[in-house]
Amino acid sequence: KQEVTQIPAALSVPEGENLVLNCSFTDSAIYNLQWFRQDPGKGLTSLLLIQSSQREQTSGRLNASLDKSSGRSTLYIAASQPGDSATYLCAGRLGSNYKLTFGKGTLLTVNP
Amino acid sequence: DTGVSQDPRHKITKRGQNVTFRCDPISEHNRLYWYRQTLGQGPEFLTYFQNEAQLEKSRLLSDRFSAERPKGSFSTLEIQRTEQGDSAMYLCASSLVGTGHNEQFFGPGTRLTVL
């Protein structure tokens, strides 16, 4: 069974701290991986997409990496702000499927 | 607004009733996906369409669920004889074939509560 796992399940940090969210997946035949943000009761906002041929992608204070051989991806958030507080989900397009397989998410709280 | 839209945003119904949700994808996106998300979990895939063809259905999609995408534009998801276990957020996403990476963009979701 293809699985995506995210650790930690919850993270609380003071404002200004740099932080890393982790995502692991079981299928080395990953096609691409997306990181999403979800605010309470809302839909998903796409943050970054990394194709299997890439090692990292950057957008503003966000940097996502992908290591296919170890089955891991990380989302690095620099200089965190209270507005970054949300649930962060990673999702892989695994194998030949077009569907996304999601982790359960990491609930991030940035304290002012 | 050129994003994915969903209607209604919230639906409360009694057990045994039928409900229908609508999703309008980003214009020109030819793939459309439905996912279901329960509290504390990540979204789970239900089904997807390429144009009007339904190409894959999850085992989660029981016989009480049906999805359509007539003319390859908007899509509807119907749940018949709703059960309390159907209570969840139903998310729709769309993507464009040919971009190489198939980035999926999500709508705001429809929250279903079955009493």
Tens digits of per-residue pLDDT, B9-64? 999 999 999 999 999 999 989 999 999 999 999 999 999 999 999 999 998 888 99
Q: How many CB atoms lie within 10 A of CB B17?
A: 13
pLDDT at res. A40: 92
Residue labelled with tokens 């991986």:
A33
Task: Report the Cα–Cα distance between both ends of chain B, in Å, rounded.
Answer: 33
B6 pLDDT band, cuts 50/70/90, is very high
pLDDT at res. A27: 76
Mean pLDDT, rounded, of chain B: 93
B100, pLDDT greater than 80: no
A56, pLDDT greater than 90: yes
Pairing state between β B110-114 and B10-13: parallel
Percent share of chain B, pLDDT over 90 = 83
B1, pLDDT greater than 80: no
Chain A residue numbers touching B107 (CB-CB < 8 A): 43
A81, pLDDT greater than 70: yes
A22, pLDDT greater than 60: yes
Nearest to B40 among A41, A93, A104 (CB): A104
**Would you call A100 and B41 a contact, using CB atoms and an 8 Å cutoff?**
no
Chain A residue numbers touching B4 (CB-CB < 8 A): 43
3-state secondary structure of A1: coil
pLDDT at res. B23: 98
H or E stretch including B113?
strand B110-114
Structure tokens given for A93: 């397009």
Residues across chain B: 115
**Would you call A44 and B111 a contact, using CB atoms and an 8 Å cutoff?**
no
3-state secondary structure of B72: helix
For residue range A44-54, what is the model confidence (pLDDT) as tens digits?
999 999 988 89
B73, pLDDT greater than 70: yes
* Interface check A12 vs B, CB under 8 A: no
pLDDT at res. B99: 63
